[in-house]
Chain A
Amino acid sequence: MTTAPGELELIIRAKQGDFKAFELLYEMHKTAIYRTALAITGNRSTAEEILQETFLRAFKNINKIYENTSLSPWLYRVAVNLAYDLTAKRRRRLTVLDTLKGWLTVAPLSLPERKVEERELQELIYEAINKLEFRQRSTLVLFYLQDFSLQEIAEIMECPVGTVKSRLHYARTNLRKALLADERLLGGLAYEFS
């Protein structure tokens, strides 16, 4: 990942103690990091907590970040690791269905019926994604939501590219199995996947 224009200057300024430069770096990356954390954890408050902690760590370790590389891989790596820790803690008391309930209730009822059906379908698919094992889910989110390449994901997750490929493959396979087994999708999708 190459450094975005302007990011290099901001990193240098932030290293020199320019707090405004650090704020601009936050503005530059906050949405992507937040969306990734939200997609992995499925919880808004957890995602915000991850975003906050990621940038607090970035501020403390700003001098360790190389100026010739982008800040993104470092930020995503921290965010994914934090998501893993927080998800493991909260999964004990927060079921996936509870989380999805919040998503389903925000669906606007005024949309046309087709849109609503598509939305319901997406919710069911996301529910299946959320049931994946953490590493597979994280890889899937980075690949499909953030459009990172396999090499970039390998860099973020600190693993070989082959491992990323393997995780993506098993993520897709497990998703198919989950969707096939979902009674709510019977008749609509099941025969198409088989």
Chain B
Amino acid sequence: MNSHKPLYEEDLDQLLHHTLENKFRAQRPSNRVWKRIKAKLTGEKSNSGQFFSLRSSLIVQVAILLLFLTLGGVDRLLEQKLPLATRNMDSVSQNNAPSPRTVVWVNKELTDVKDVELPYPTEMATLPVDDHDDAHLQDIQFKRQRLSQNNRHYEPPLSIPPIDVAPHIDSPEGRALMLRSNMQGILSFFMGGQFDPGIIQ
């Protein structure tokens, strides 16, 4: 390094210029830079093209939908104006329809129902009669109540009727009476007969 030529302060500008010029004069960017730029820009262009094609596709779809809606409206209008088609018979009002009729033959003077001769077997003209219709309903109601009570774990309040008739020993009232009686006995035993049975109610 000692062999460098002297560099004066006023030459610093020239030195800097030469340094940078010599260093970078031959430098050029590679061709791949433009290829990358082009790839990115054309990629964006194609994306925007896809967007436009998508948009046009949407427009076509909307147009077709509107067309169908319009045709549907026309169809309904025509249905109201034109004579009823067969497929719409369900919606026809039956007010003016003739009542169903059964043709019977009368050969003699009518004194009884049996005098009427039906064109079909007699048993078909007789509705089945259920004598226990009411009992059936009561049974359903009972089952429904039981089911409801079981689901809710409902227990009616225990009340001991103040009547002389002793309840059944297996009934809740009977079991409560027995329990009270036992408690009175036990307490009377421990309290030496000074127990007031009225405190257990």
B154 interfacial by beta-carbon distance below 8 Å: no
Are B8 and A38 in contact, with the CB atoms below 8 A?
Answer: no
Instruction: State whether A122 and B23 are in contact (beta carbons under 8 Å apart), knowing that A52-B33, A59-B41, A176-B12 are contacts in the complex.
Output: yes
Chain A residues within 8 Å of B18, by CB: 122
Choose one: B16, B33, B38; the contact of A30 (CB below 8 Å). B33
Choose one: A19, A44, A126, A192; the contact of B20 (CB below 8 Å). A126
Cα distance A187–B29 in the bound complex, in angstroms:
38
**What is the interface size of chain A, counting residues whose CB is below 8 A from a CB of the partner?**
41
Are A187 and B1 in contact, with the CB atoms below 8 A?
Answer: yes
A184 interfacial by beta-carbon distance below 8 Å: yes
Are B15 and A48 in contact, with the CB atoms below 8 A?
Answer: no
Cα distance A111–B169 in the bound complex, in angstroms:
129
Q: Can you list 7 residue pairs at the A/B interface with Cβ under 8 Å?
A: A48-B30, A122-B19, A126-B19, A186-B1, A187-B2, A188-B1, A189-B4
Cα distance A192–B1 in the bound complex, in angstroms:
14
B180 interfacial by beta-carbon distance below 8 Å: no
A65 interfacial by beta-carbon distance below 8 Å: no
B124 interfacial by beta-carbon distance below 8 Å: no
Main SS of the interface on chain B? helix
| Binary interface encoding of chain B residues 1-31 relative to chain A, with 1 for a CB under 8 A from any of its CBs, else 0 | 1111011110011011111111110011110
| Binary interface encoding of chain A residues 38-73 relative to chain B, with 1 for a CB under 8 A from any of its CBs, else 0 | 110000100110011001100100000000000000
B36 interfacial by beta-carbon distance below 8 Å: yes
B136 interfacial by beta-carbon distance below 8 Å: no
Q: Which residues in B have some Cβ–Cβ distance to A below 8 Å?
A: 1-4, 6-9, 12-13, 15-24, 27-30, 32-34, 36-38, 40-41
Cα distance A119–B22 in the bound complex, in angstroms:
9
Q: Which of B9, B28, B33 has the most CB of A within 10 A?
A: B33
Cα distance A51–B15 in the bound complex, in angstroms:
27
Choose one: A51, A141, A185; the contact of B33 (CB below 8 Å). A51
Are B4 and A144 in contact, with the CB atoms below 8 A?
Answer: no
Shortest CB–CB separation between residue B32 and chain A, in angstroms? 8
A-B contact count (CB 8 A): 96
Q: Which residues in A have some Cβ–Cβ distance to B below 8 Å?
A: 19, 23, 26, 30-31, 34-35, 38-39, 44, 47-48, 51-52, 55-56, 59, 103, 117, 119-122, 125-126, 129, 140-141, 144-145, 172, 175-176, 184-189, 192-193
Cα distance A187–B1 in the bound complex, in angstroms:
8
Instruction: State whether A193 and B9 are in contact (beta carbons under 8 Å apart), knowing that A51-B33, A56-B40, A188-B4 are contacts in the complex.
Output: yes
Residue of B nearest to A47 (CB): B29
Cα distance A2–B41 in the bound complex, in angstroms:
28
Are B23 and A39 in contact, with the CB atoms below 8 A?
Answer: yes
> 14 extra interchain contacts, Cβ-Cβ under 8 A, other than A30-B33, A185-B4?
A30-B34, A34-B28, A34-B33, A38-B24, A48-B32, A52-B36, A56-B40, A59-B41, A117-B4, A122-B22, A125-B16, A125-B19, A176-B9, A193-B9
Are A144 and B33 in contact, with the CB atoms below 8 A?
Answer: no
Instruction: State whether A35 and B27 are in contact (beta carbons under 8 Å apart), knowing that A48-B33, A122-B22 are contacts in the complex.
Output: yes
